[in-house]
C-alpha cells in the first residue's frame, strides 16, 4: 500500500473479536511515533476511557519509552482495578504516572460521540487540521454504527456514510481508516478467512474504498492451532498497490503488532 496517502479511504474489516480496534489504535500510535503527525479517532463503540486504557497498555511495551524503565501493563489492568477485582499496586501507580504524562503529550484526539455524523466528523477534522497544520490519520470505529437503522435501506445508508468519508478524505487531503464488520457467512465455511465479498453490504464498500484489509486470527476459531498470536492482514484491495497477506505477531494483552522476525 506504501502507507496511508492523503485523500484515500482504507477499510479494515473482520468478525467481532478479531482485533480491529486494537489494530487501528496501533496504527494511530505508529503514525504519531514514526511521522510526528496528529491523529483523531472517532469511536462509536468504545468510550474515551476504554481507548485510553488500551493506549496506556500500548505505551508500556513500546521500545521508545524503555529508558523510563516501564513494566508491561495489560490492556484490561485498569478495568480490573476499577471493578475492585485486582487493585493496583504501588509500583503500578508509579508507572502509570509516567505513562499518563507521555499520553498527555501525544497529538491524539478522541471523540466518543455515539450519534456523530459524517458532516460533524468533517467539521471537527477541519478544526484540528487548522490548529495542528496537518492531520496524519482519521479513524472511524466503525461504519455500521454510523448507518442509521431508521427502517430504510441499510445498504444505501451504509453507502452514504462510506461515500461521505471518501469525499471528506479528498476534500481535506487526509487518509481515513474506517473499521467495518463482515457478514456471518464466514462462520459456515470450512476456511473462515474472510473475502472481500464478506463485507457487510459489500458492493458499495468495494467500489468506494481505495484499500480493503481483512483481519483474521486462526486461534479465534481453532484454539489448538500452531498459529498462536498470529494475525493475518489480508489486503484484498489496493488501488495503488498490490494485494496479498501480511502475517504479523499480535499480542492482544497489550494491543501491540510486530514483525514475526
Extents of the domains making up the chain:
9-51+115-259
Q: Give per-residue pLDDT as tens, 150-205.
A: 555 666 788 889 999 999 999 999 999 999 988 888 888 889 899 988 886 667 88
Question: What secondary structure letter does DSSP report for 150?
Answer: S
Alpha carbon distance, N-terminus to C-terminus of the chain:
21
Q: Which CATH class is domain 9-51+115-259?
A: alpha beta
> What integer pLDDT is reported at residue 240 of this predicted model?
87
Helix or strand holding residue 233 (H, E): strand 230-238
Model's pTM, two decimal places?
0.93
* CA-to-CA dists, residue 212 to 57, 184, 241, angstroms: 27, 18, 11
pLDDT per residue over 101-121, tens digit each?
A: 999 999 999 999 988 999 999
Question: What is the chain's mean pLDDT, rounded?
Answer: 91
pLDDT of the residue at 245: 96
Rounded Cα distance between 117 and 11, Å, is: 18
Do you find a cis peptide bond into 142, omega within 30 degrees of 0? yes
- What is the SS3 assignment for 162? helix
What is the residue-wise DSSP string for 20-76?
HHHHHHHHHHHHHHHH---EEEEESSS-HHHHHHHHHHHHHT-GGGGGGT-----TT
Residue 254 in 3-state DSSP? Answer: coil
Helix (H) or strand (E) holding 209: none
Amino acid at each position: 500500500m506504501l502507507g496511508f496517502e492523503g485523500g484515500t479511504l482504507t477499510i479494515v474489516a473482520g468478525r467481532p473479536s478479531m482485533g480491529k480496534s486494537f489494530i487501528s489504535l496501533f496504527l494511530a500510535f505508529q503514525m504519531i511515533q514514526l511521522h510526528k503527525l496528529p491523529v483523531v479517532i472517532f469511536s462509536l463503540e468504545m468510550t474515551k476511557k476504554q481507548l485510553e486504557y488500551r493506549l496506556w497498555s500500548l505505551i508500556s511495551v513500546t521500545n521508545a519509552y524503555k529508558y523510563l524503565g516501564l513494566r508491561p501493563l495489560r490492556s484490561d489492568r485498569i478495568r480490573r482495578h476499577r471493578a475492585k477485582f485486582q487493585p493496583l499496586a504501588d509500583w503500578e501507580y508509579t508507572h502509570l504516572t509516567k505513562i499518563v504524562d507521555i499520553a498527555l503529550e501525544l497529538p491524539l484526539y478522541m471523540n466518543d460521540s455515539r450519534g456523530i455524523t459524517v458532516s460533524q466528523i468533517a467539521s471537527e477534522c477541519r478544526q484540528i487540521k487548522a490548529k495542528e497544520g496537518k492531520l496524519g490519520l482519521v479513524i472511524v470505529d466503525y461504519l455500521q454504527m454510523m448507518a442509521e437503522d431508521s427502517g430504510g435501506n441499510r445498504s444505501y445508508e451504509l453507502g452514504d456514510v462510506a461515500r461521505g468519508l471518501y469525499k471528506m478524505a479528498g476534500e481535506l487531503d487526509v487518509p481515513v481508516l474506517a473499521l467495518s464488520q463482515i457478514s456471518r457467512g464466514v462462520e459456515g465455511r470450512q476456511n473462515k478467512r474472510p473475502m472481500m465479498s464478506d463485507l457487510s453490504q459489500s458492493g458499495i464498500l468495494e467500489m468506494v474504498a481505495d484499500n480493503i484489509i481483512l483481519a483474521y486470527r486462526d486461534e479465534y476459531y481453532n484454539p489448538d492451532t500452531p498459529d498462536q498470536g498470529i494475525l493475518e492482514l489480508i489486503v484484498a484491495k489496493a488501488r495503488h498497490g498490490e494485494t496479498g497477506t501480511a502475517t504479523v505477531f499480535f499480542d492482544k494483552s497489550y494491543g501491540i503488532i510486530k514483525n514475526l522476525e
